[in-house]
Structure 1
Amino acid sequence: MSSPGSGRGPAVRQGLGLADLERENALLVGIIEAISAGPELTLLAARVAPLIAAATNTDVCFVHVLDDSGRSLTLAGATPPFDKQVGQVRLPLGEGVAGWAASRGEPVVLVEHKERDPRYRYFPQLRGEDYTSMVSVPMSSKPSGLVGVLNVHTRNRRDFTDRDIRLLTSIGSLLAGAVHQARLHRRLTTRERAHERFTEQVIAAQETERRRLAADIHDGITQRLVSLRFHLDAAAGALTDSSEFAGAQLARARELAEGTFDDARAAINGLRPPVLDDLGLADSLTSLARSLDALDVMVDVEDCPLPEHAEIALYRIAQEALQNVVKHARTRAAHLRLRREEGEVRLQVSDDGRGFDRDGMSFGDDPASGGYGMISMAERAEIIGGRLEVTSRPGLGTTITARVPIR
């Protein structure tokens, strides 16, 4: 009668052992393919568990991985139906058979009556009562150290040989490097996500402060300017024809009030352009270019998939770059371009103006090399994981390019 899950009888199982060359070669190829599939730890463990069970002619395989604290093991991969328990089973280092093997760095073999072994710990969800014999070997190598434990179980009693243990130990060593790299990748991904969340919070805080300042200017300064214009108009209407000097002064005061009012409105729009709330990045850039009376901007933009905080940062870079053209380039012609190319979004603002002595990649943070505006743009690009490039030569214009990778 064949044992469940294997398709082979006990005699066949005993005769083949773990050293069958064909199964070992298939296992090696399978592990290499699993490692090559990607650095995701749970995916790697899920792929190798059934490979190990098939190659070692055992019924189930559990892959326990040491957590980042180095104090406990977590089930990261298992053969069905126990794959549903992945992430749910945790074992402190030193407890249970797997914990003992990990803490001592030695394999453990239990042929039968494992429940009598003081190291054994029962997990109802893993149904240990259904399996008789087991082997637990550490997954470790010199470069990576201990990364976890491999457990294999058989329903029928099995006398595991020294060669069996060597094979499982070799498998553990082979996997140790891959698991170590997967753990490093997971940590890096976690840090990147944390950095992105922090970036979102920083930009959100900046935009909130800009909105507050815009509201303060609108509700305070502009309202007072409107009131001032009203009183100036009233004063001008009350003057007699003989008050020529006073009339001229009132007219000049009104001009100043009008100019200040226009400056306040421009500051409000600069602090928080309404288009950012209503349009996508491409349309917002188009609106920005059209709002600059001092420039004739050729616009070449397309919709690009970016998080909101990255869109805000790119809009601010374009805003600053176009203002620099107005202030310094001594030209009316500019070109604004937004494109997705080769896994990144590129924002480019160029002009044919007077330029300056700057030709290179990866704009630095030296204040003497471009002033606060350039530094501000570079910082905005860096905070969203991108970079700013500035190319310029005297008499040949300036090109500013912000590159942001698409995640």
Structure 2
Amino acid sequence: MAGSIPGAAELARALEADGSLLYAVDGQDLDLVDIWPEHGSAAGLKLQVGFGVTGLVARTGKPVLLESDSPRNELHRRLLGLGPEQTVARMCVPLRGLDGNVVGVLAVHRSPRRPFCQEDLRAAESFAAVLGLRLHAEELWRAVNRHRGERDRLVKQAISAQEAERRRIAFDLHDGVTTALASMSFHLSAAELTVSELAADEDPAVSSRVQELRRARAELVSARELADMAYTQTRSAISGLHSLVLDDLGLVAAIESLVRMADRESGPAIELVVDPAAEPERIPDHAAAALYRIAQEALANVVKHAEASRVVLSLRRVGDSLVLGCTDDGKGFDPARRRSARSSEADQAQHFGLSSIAERCALIEASLRVESAPDRGTTVLVELPLQPADSA
């Protein structure tokens, strides 16, 4: 309230007034944003656009000079320093914003023995343009902060909902598909054993029967291998869909688990470097989830496309930011050429991976830098500002 836009005291002195009040239009209300002399009850004053002298100026956009006025609002009278029968000379000037609309009202007052004149009005209007712009700028800033807060809330909800859906699908796959595949593999193994025993008991002289059983056994072995492969791939998909480690132990532990899983597969050697000062606990849960997905996508890009022998995944503190890095010694690419021509399927797949990373960065307002050159590897850097320690 009072003091958010300074200048009431200076305005009163410049206009030779006993006091001044500065109002901002808020919908159909007029909020008092600055007053001089200061008054402990100022925060309680609420006027309506269109009602009273000040409200009329806000509605019509026309200034008003009153030689003698006696406001009916008791709080307003106290702010003007008026006793029960006293009157006051007033001057109310509209304040306009960038679009020309009235965004506030400047009201000054003094003794009715010295009423305001046109010269006073011209002096007040010389301040009005600047005051209007300042009020409009504050209004826009408040709107930006409101929209930013709403955007942050929606992003958090979207990422949380996405992770919840991933978790649900992962649990459904675990409890349904993987259980069925494991059972299938068990029954196929039992069937293979039974067929093997039957083939062993057959009279070798009856060659056609033995050959049929052997062929059946070979088909069962192939089916069991396919079931085992489907089970392994489903388990891998479950791990990719959702990280229980991220939920339970946080970002660093989740990335460590991601690296261990990648190391078990045939691919480049992966080194994880974590700066003790990184302080990933200072980022919100939805941002941690996004960074985990970015690390996951970056590693997948390297394994699938980079033909690298070594990868360094890092999490470090740089100034007031947390930086996630992924550097490989693979074949690299020409970023400019990649932007202009994405003809091959491999290029399209890798570009899709980088686009996914870029979209996640945009969601959490992190900056993304990709550095690469042919035969010189690729570096992906994601920089996320850390929350202040007192708001973490």
Q: Please tell me the TM-score bracket, short chain as reference.
A: 0.7 to 0.9
The aligned runs of 1:332-347 (5 Å cut-off) are: 332-347=309-324
- Partner deviation per Cα, 1:84-135 (whole Å, 9 max, x = no partner): 32xx61412x3211122233433333343x23xxxx5x33443458423133
Change (3 A) 1:90 1:313: farther
Corresponding residue SS for 1:291: helix
Cα distance, 1:390 vs structure 2 = 2.2
Q: 1:275 aligns with which of 245, 248, 257?
A: 245
Instruction: Name the residue aligned to 1:331.
Output: 308
Corresponding residue SS for 1:282: helix
Q: 1:46, 1:178 → 2: CA distance? A: 8
Q: 2:271 aligns with which of 298, 310, 327?
A: 298
Instruction: Name the residue aligned to 1:179.
Output: 135
Would the aligned equivalents of 1:381 and 1:388 in 2 still touch at CA under 8 Å? yes
What letter is aligned with 1:315? Answer: Y
Instruction: Name the residue aligned to 1:384.
Output: 364
Q: 1:135, 1:344 → 2: CA distance? A: 52
Q: 1:66 aligns with which of 25, 33, 37?
A: 25
Corresponding residue SS for 2:283: coil
Q: 2:97, 2:332 → 1: CA distance? A: 58
Cα distance, 1:148 vs structure 2 = 0.6
The aligned runs of 1:344-363 (5 Å cut-off) are: 344-358=321-335
What letter is aligned with 2:76? Answer: L
Q: 1:312 aligns with which of 267, 270, 289?
A: 289
Alignment length (residue pairs): 353
Instruction: Name the residue aligned to 2:382.
Output: 402
Q: 1:90, 1:340 → 2: CA distance? A: 51
- Partner deviation per Cα, 1:147-178 (whole Å, 9 max, x = no partner): 21012345x54413434444433333331221
Cα distance, 1:271 vs structure 2 = 0.4
Instruction: Name the residue aligned to 1:159.
Output: 114
What letter is aligned with 1:76? Answer: V
Change (3 A) 1:161 1:77: closer
Q: 1:365, 1:57 → 2: CA distance? A: 70
TM-score, structure 1 length as denominator? 0.76
Q: Which moved more, 1:370-379 or 1:318-327?
A: 370-379
Change (3 A) 1:188 1:360: farther
Would the aligned equivalents of 1:144 and 1:177 in 2 still touch at CA under 8 Å? no
Determine if the alignment matches structure 1 residue 126 to structure 2 residue 76: yes
- Partner deviation per Cα, 1:63-86 (whole Å, 9 max, x = no partner): 21123x5x543333333213432x
Corresponding residue SS for 2:332: coil
Q: 1:161, 1:89 → 2: CA distance? A: 25
Instruction: Name the residue aligned to 1:12.
Output: none
- Partner deviation per Cα, 1:27-48 (whole Å, 9 max, x = no partner): xxxxxxxxxxxxxxx5764533
Cα distance, 1:316 vs structure 2 = 0.6
Q: 1:327, 1:290 → 2: CA distance? A: 17
Q: 1:127, 1:43 → 2: CA distance? A: 17
- Partner deviation per Cα, 1:370-393 (whole Å, 9 max, x = no partner): 432222112111222234332222
The aligned runs of 1:135-284 (5 Å cut-off) are: 135-140=91-96, 145-154=101-110, 157-162=112-117, 163-239=119-195, 240=197, 242=200, 243-284=213-254
Identity of aligned residues (%): 36
Cα distance, 1:226 vs structure 2 = 1.9
Q: 1:365, 1:314 → 2: CA distance? A: 28
Change (3 A) 1:285 1:60: farther
What letter is aligned with 1:374? Answer: L
Structure 1: give runs of 5+ residues left out of the alignment. 1-41
Instruction: Name the residue aligned to 1:49.
Output: 8
Cα distance, 1:277 vs structure 2 = 0.7
TM-score, structure 2 length as denominator? 0.78
Cα distance, 1:342 vs structure 2 = 4.9
- Partner deviation per Cα, 1:204-256 (whole Å, 9 max, x = no partner): 22212212211221121111012112212332343315254444443333332
- Partner deviation per Cα, 1:260-314 (whole Å, 9 max, x = no partner): 2111111111101112211332332233223311443222332243222222112
Would the aligned equivalents of 2:316 and 2:324 in 1 still touch at CA under 8 Å? yes
Q: 1:51, 1:285 → 2: CA distance? A: 58
What letter is aligned with 1:73? Answer: L
Corresponding residue SS for 1:203: helix
